[in-house]
Structure formats: structure tokens, C-alpha cells
């Protein structure tokens, strides 16, 4: 081993792993003469060969960071805001004004005049004052169909302490059923739109 | 062309920077590029570093202490430059990416892929390059550059005993490789 090491210079140079040739010296002189010009130490391919791995790493890191960021954001709930908003808009509880207007407009689609007038009377009597009622369930179940449940209190006259419930078809605004109950929860008045009328109203719409 | 010793340079006018540059490139070009290669294990980078070193030598020749060895000065600049490169994030990044690529391509990215010459010389070079840097540099400076322990101690800013210890361990490690 010692013998080998003693002639290390000759042995390593024999491998021609690296050398310092005239063209290297020329480049040094050239760079000293033109210090402002960028060094032409490598050809483009060598430059790419050396830089590409670094750029690849940057890209991979960027993708990983972006992915992690997106994942974290989605977990926290920052993402899909627009989608959620859209869904929320579709399923959102309408305001009382919107519901009131929708119900009133839907009355025109009810073919049966008696049904229409009964519903109109109820709406005008109990929903006009928006302070007297509230939307208690925007996703209520009404005989296996989705409905908006509005509930309120009737405070006038002999109806004091009487409550009412109104189920509204969310898309059309049709008043599907309303029920007036007394303090003991007994039904005082009830109105239900027939399936036939609902179907016709849908058709008309 | 044989290597000239430091004493030959005493005849050179150090104020003539161009002449000094030509001399050190002629005399130490090989030493510098090989020292850089022993640190970086990359032919292209070693050649680039060698050019950088000579440019630094030219521009900082005024700071050279006339009583010191010019060769040691040049080699010190080379060693420091290489260590800076090795420490740089971009170099580590490139090495990491290249190792990834070579793994993907199932290619041998070790320096010995570029070696020619006698098999035993290639093996010796390969084994030296496999040594940890602190052992590689002392082996290289001592056996390749014929530097004495004291010169190595100055060049590497180490105590002489540390240099000796490293040399001894480096030899042991090399023996174990055979």
C-alpha cells in the first residue's frame, strides 16, 4: 500500500480522470480579459446536464409543497369554497322575504280556485308580518319529499298562543300543507294541497 | 514537463501578474484541478473550479505574502473554494438530484466510471475517492502533492498531530479496502 501511495501522482494521472489543458488556460485568460462577459466554461448541453437535476428537484419540491398546501387547505376547509358556496346556494335556507314572495307567486299555479284562495288567505293572514314566523327547517321531510318548514305564532284575537306550521315545496314555493294548532297542540285548522293539484301546478310551471 | 519547485518562482517578478498567472497555471494547473477533483469528484466542476482559482490568484496576487509558498497559497485557495462549493445548497441539491436520477436510470454515477488506465491505478483512485473528505484531502496533499505534515497543517488550519492522525487513519482505511 505504501508503495502504491508513494507513486500516487503518477498512478492517479494515469487514470486521466481530470486534466488542465491549454483550452482551460485560454478560458482563464479570456475571462480575465473580458470580466464582464459571462463565462463560457461549459457548453449548453453540459450546462443543462448539470442544472437539470437541480431544476428537477426544485420542481419536485414545489409540487410537493403545493400538494401539501392544497391538502392542508382542503382539510382546514379553505378549498372548494366556490363549490360549497354553489351547493349552499342551492340548498341554502331562503330568507323569509324570498320564501314569502315564492309562495305568493306559486299561488298562481294552483288550478283549484278554492285551494288557491284558502292558501292565499292563510298566507296573507299569517305570513305578511315577517316578525311573526320563522323558517325552522329548510330541509324538512314532508311525506318523503323535501320541504321548507315555516312556523309561527298567531297572536291576534282569539288565536292568541296558537301556532301554525307551513310546509313549502322548495323549488316551486307551493304551500304543501299548513296546520294551525292551539296551546294543547290540537289541530284547529288544516289545509293540504292534493297531489293532483301539485302535479298540475308543476306542469303549469 | 517536470514540476518546478517553489524556489523557481523566486525569480519571477510578482508584480507582473500575467507572467505569474502563466507560471502558476503551467506549474500548478494539474495540482489544482486534481485537488478540486479529489474534493468534488466531478470532472466538469473540478475544471471550472481550477479556472476560478487561477482567476482569484490573478486578482488577489497583491495579497500574497512573498515569504510564503506560492504553491501552498494556490492550493489553499483551491481547498477553500472546493469546501465552499461542497457546503453550498445548490451543490448538495445537484448531488441529491443526480443520485436520484442515477437510481432511476440504474446507472453508476460514481467517478470511476470516467477512469481509464491500469486497473490497479483505477482501483487506487477509486478507493481514495471513497474515503471521507478529511482523510481524502490529507492523503492527496501528502502523497499526490508531496506536502509535508507542517505544510498540510498550515494549509488545512489543523494541528500537526491532527494531520498525522488523519494520515494514519486514512492509510488504515485504504488498507481495509484491499
Identity of the residue in A6, A16, A24 whose CB atom sits nearest the CB atom of B51: A24
Residue A193, in any domain of the structure = yes
What is the number of domains present in chain A? 2
A177 and A104 within one domain:
yes
pLDDT at A86 over 50: no
The boundaries of the domain holding residue A29 are 22-74
pLDDT of residue B156 exceeding 50, the answer is yes
* A48 and A100 inside one domain: no
Position A91 in a domain: no
Q: At A7, is the secondary structure helix, strand, or coil?
A: coil
Sort out which chain B residues have CB atoms less than 8 A from A2's CB and list them: 171
Q: In the prediction, which pLDDT does B90 show?
A: 61
Domain co-membership, A64 together with A103: no
Q: How far apart are CA A53 and CA A71, in angstroms?
A: 26
Name the residue with higher pLDDT: A48 or B143: B143
Across the interface, do A18 and B120 touch by the CB < 8 Å criterion?
A: no
Count of A-B CB contacts under 8 Å? 120
What is the per-residue pLDDT across B76-119, written as a single tens digit (0 to 9) for each? 999 999 988 888 766 666 666 666 666 655 554 455 456 777 78
DSSP for B60-84, please give it.
TGGG--TTS-HHHHHHHHHHHHHHH
Is a pLDDT exceeding 70 seen at residue B120?
yes
Residues 6 or more apart in contact with residue A175 via CB below 8 angstroms:
A103, A106, A107, A119, A122, A123, A166, A167, A168, A191, A193
Q: Which residue of A has its CA nearest to B23?
A: A25
Same domain membership, residue A111 and residue A41: no
A102 plus A145 within the same structural domain? yes
The reported pTM is 0.52
- A151 in the same domain as A104: yes
Highest mean pLDDT among A85-94, A138-147, B80-89, B130-139 belongs to B130-139
Same domain, A196 and A109: yes
How far apart, in Å, are the Cα atoms of B155 and each of A113, B71, B75, B80, B158? 107, 10, 8, 10, 8
Which residue segments constitute the domains of chain B, with CATH numbers given?
Answer: 1-108 (1.10.1740.10), 110-178 (1.10.10.10)
How confident is residue B51, by pLDDT bands cut at 50, 70 and 90? very high
Of A1, A18, A57, Cβ closest to residue B33: A18
pLDDT over 80 (residue A85): no
Domain co-membership, A68 together with A115: no
**Looking at this predicted complex, what is its ipTM?**
0.73
The residue of A13, A28, A32, A64 whose CB has the most chain B CBs within 10 angstroms, and thus the best one to mutate to test that interface, is: A28
Question: What is the reported pLDDT for A92?
Answer: 66
Amino acid at each position: 500500500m505504501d508503495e502504491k501511495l508513494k507513486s500516487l501522482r503518477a498512478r492517479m494521472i494515469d487514470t486521466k480522470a481530470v486534466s488542465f489543458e491549454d483550452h482551460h488556460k485560454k478560458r482563464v485568460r479570456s475571462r480575465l480579459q473580458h470580466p464582464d462577459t459571462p463565462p463560457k466554461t461549459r457548453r449548453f448541453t453540459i450546462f443543462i446536464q448539470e442544472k437539470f437535476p437541480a431544476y428537477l428537484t426544485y420542481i419536485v419540491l414545489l409540487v410537493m409543497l403545493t400538494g401539501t398546501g392544497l391538502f392542508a387547505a382542503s382539510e382546514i376547509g379553505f378549498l372548494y369554497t366556490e363549490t360549497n358556496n354553489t351547493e349552499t346556494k342551492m340548498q341554502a335556507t331562503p330568507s323569509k322575504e324570498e320564501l314569502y314572495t315564492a309562495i305568493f307567486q306559486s299561488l298562481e299555479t294552483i288550478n283549484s280556485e278554492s285551494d288557491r284562495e284558502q292558501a292565499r288567505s292563510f298566507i296573507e293572514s299569517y305570513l305578511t308580518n315577517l316578525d311573526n314566523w320563522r323558517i325552522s327547517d329548510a330541509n324538512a321531510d314532508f311525506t318523503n319529499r323535501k320541504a321548507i318548514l315555516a312556523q309561527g305564532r298567531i297572536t291576534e284575537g282569539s288565536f292568541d298562543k296558537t301556532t301554525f306550521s307551513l310546509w313549502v315545496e322548495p323549488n316551486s314555493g307551493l304551500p304543501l300543507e299548513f296546520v294551525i294548532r292551539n296551546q294543547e297542540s290540537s289541530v284547529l285548522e288544516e289545509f293540504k294541497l292534493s297531489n293532483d293539484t301539485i302535479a298540475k301546478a308543476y306542469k303549469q310551471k | 514537463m517536470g514540476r518546478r519547485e517553489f524556489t523557481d518562482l523566486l525569480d519571477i517578478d510578482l508584480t507582473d501578474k500575467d507572467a505569474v498567472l502563466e507560471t502558476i497555471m503551467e506549474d500548478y494547473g494539474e495540482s489544482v484541478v486534481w485537488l478540486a477533483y479529489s474534493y468534488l469528484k466531478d470532472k466538469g466542476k473540478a475544471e471550472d473550479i481550477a479556472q476560478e482559482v487561477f482567476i482569484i490568484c490573478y486578482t488577489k496576487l497583491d495579497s500574497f505574502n512573498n515569504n510564503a509558498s506560492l504553491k501552498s497559497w494556490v492550493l489553499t485557495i483551491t481547498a477553500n473554494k472546493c469546501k465552499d462549493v461542497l457546503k453550498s445548497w445548490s451543490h448538495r441539491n445537484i448531488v441529491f438530484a443526480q443520485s436520484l436520477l442515477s437510481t432511476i436510470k440504474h446507472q453508476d454515477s460514481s467517478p470511476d466510471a470516467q477512469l481509464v488506465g491500469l486497473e490497479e491505478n483505477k482501483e487506487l483512485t477509486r478507493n481514495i475517492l471513497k474515503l471521507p473528505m478529511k482523510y481524502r484531502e490529507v492523503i492527496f496533499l501528502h502523497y499526490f502533492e508531496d506536502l509535508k505534515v507542517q505544510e498540510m497543517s498550515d494549509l488545512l488550519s489543523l494541528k500537526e498531530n491532527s494531520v498525522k492522525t488523519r494520515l494514519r487513519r486514512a492509510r488504515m482505511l485504504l488498507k481495509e479496502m484491499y
